[in-house]
């Protein structure tokens, strides 16, 4: 058994969230560069060039990449042989979020009473927390600042099994087509297939945590990813929706067994402002 102080969790989350909001990670920069090289549309190339300049400006001027610094989504993979000390683990996560948004001059965008008063909580808490218990004595933390221009374009379909592979592809492509310019393309398309309704959406979200364009380990799933990517890029939406060859930088699919009566498909879009970081304590 190993003890981990929840104060470490607070500090780690504060650092991870701030880092994500100020520095575009290398995989995203590489994907944007590649998109710039391949793009034929002058308007879209102009956007891609500006996004790369923006990443430099954010780091140099100490200004967040995007003004929507999102809602914090935190994934905890807690080793079952860890003993947390120093207070409530989830409170430590919220405190880390609070600290990141205050110290990092990030925008506080979370409101309470969502269908009525919509009062700003003023510190961007609560974070959305997903915990899994795993073997071992470590705690892996992944912190994501999720912007809502793209989050608002999420969709879930409970397809019939008869829909099959083609049904999945058509649904995902339709989602991206309808979202158009709204989720700030170029995007990463997160797809969950299987499970129950809520599990399916979580799979889609988790797929976004992969390095951009890293294919799924299972070749059947990886083939599906590249087929959807081609279809999505054939839509012609392009960077910022101005028309172009690159609408998505990548399609990531995660799968899970499901019920004999179902074929759930979830789509969770990630804009080019990809902001997730991980650390292991």
Of 79-87, 195-203, 262-270, 271-279: span binding another protein (CB under 8 A): 271-279
**Residue 78 touches which of ligand SF4, another protein, none (CB < 5 to 8 A by kind)?**
none
* Cα angle 41-46-52, degrees, rounded to a multiple of 5: 125
Q: What is the DSSP letter of 240?
A: G
34, 46, 196, 258: which one contacts another protein (CB under 8 A)? 46
The residue at minimum Cβ distance from ligand SF4 is: 147
Looking at the DSSP assignment, which residues form a beta bridge with residue 84?
4
Measured from the CB atom, the residue of 239 and 263 that comes closer to ligand SF4 is: 239
Helix axes 164-179 and 219-233, enclosed angle (nearest 10): 40
Please say whether the beta carbons of 4 and 85 come within 8 A. Answer: yes
Looking at the DSSP assignment, which residues form a beta bridge with residue 196?
none
183, 185, 213, 238: which one contacts ligand SF4 (CB under 6 A)? 183
Placement of tokens 């979020």 in the chain: 97
Site for ligand SF4 in 111-170 (CB under 6 A): 147, 149-150
Instruction: Provide, rounded to whole angstroms, the least separation between the CB of residue 181 and ligand SF4.
Output: 10
Residues 6+ apart with CB under 8 A from 156: 197, 200, 201, 264, 265, 266, 267
Rule CB under 6 A: is residue 244 a binding residue for ligand SF4? no
Q: Please state whether beta strands 71-79 and 139-146 pair in parallel, antiparallel, or not at all (unpaired).
A: antiparallel
66, 157, 189, 265: which one contacts ligand SF4 (CB under 6 A)? 66
Of 127-135, 190-198, 207-215, 234-242: span binding another protein (CB under 8 A): 234-242
Measured from the CB atom, the residue of 41 and 258 that comes closer to another protein is: 41
58, 92, 202, 212: which one contacts another protein (CB under 8 A)? 58
Sort 37 into a burial class: Cβ within 10 Å, 0-12 / 13-18 / 19+: exposed
Half-sphere exposure of 200 (CA within 13 A, CB side): 21
Residue (of 247, 252, 225, 228) closest to 237 by Cα position: 247
Please say whether the beta carbons of 13 and 93 come within 8 A. Answer: yes
Measured from the CB atom, the residue of 178 and 214 that comes closer to another protein is: 178
193, 246, 255, 271: which one contacts ligand SF4 (CB under 6 A)? 271
Of 40-48, 79-87, 200-208, 255-263: span binding another protein (CB under 8 A): 40-48
Measured from the CB atom, the residue of 120 and 131 that comes closer to another protein is: 120
- Which residues make up the interface to ligand SF4 (CB under 6 A)? 66, 68, 147, 149-150, 183-184, 271, 273
């Amino acid at each position: 058994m190993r003890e981990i102080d929840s104060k470490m969790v607070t500090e780690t989350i504060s650092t991870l969230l701030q880092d994500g909001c100020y520095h575009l990670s290398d995989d995203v920069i590489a994907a944007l560069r590649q998109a710039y090289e391949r793009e034929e549309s002058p308007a879209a190339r102009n956007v891609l060039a500006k996004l790369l300049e923006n990443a430099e400006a954010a780091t140099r001027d100490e200004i967040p990449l995007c003004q929507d610094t999102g809602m914090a989504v935190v994934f905890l993979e807690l080793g079952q042989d860890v003993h947390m000390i120093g207070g409530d683990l989830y409170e430590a996560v919220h405190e880390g979020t609070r600290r990141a948004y205050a110290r990092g001059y990030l925008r506080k965008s979370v409101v309470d009473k969502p269908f009525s008063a919509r009062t700003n909580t003023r510190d961007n808490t609560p974070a959305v927390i997903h915990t899994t218990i795993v073997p071992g004595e470590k705690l892996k933390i992944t912190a994501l600042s999720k912007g809502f221009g793209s989050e608002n374009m999420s969709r879930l379909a409970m397809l019939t099994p008869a829909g099959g592979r083609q049904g999945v592809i058509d649904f995902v492509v339709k989602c991206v087509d309808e979202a158009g310019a709204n989720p700030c393309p170029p995007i990463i398309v997160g797809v969950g297939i299987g499970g129950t309704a809520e599990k399916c959406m979580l799979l889609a979200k988790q797929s976004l945590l992969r390095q951009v364009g890293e294919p799924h380990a299972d070749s059947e799933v990886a083939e599906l990813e590249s087929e959807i990517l081609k279809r999505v890029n054939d839509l012609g939406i392009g960077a910022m929706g101005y028309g172009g060859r690159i609408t998505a930088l990548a399609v990531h699919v995660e799968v899970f067994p499901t019920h004999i009566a179902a074929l759930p498909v979830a789509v969770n879009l990630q804009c080019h402002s990809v902001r997730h970081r991980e650390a292991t304590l």
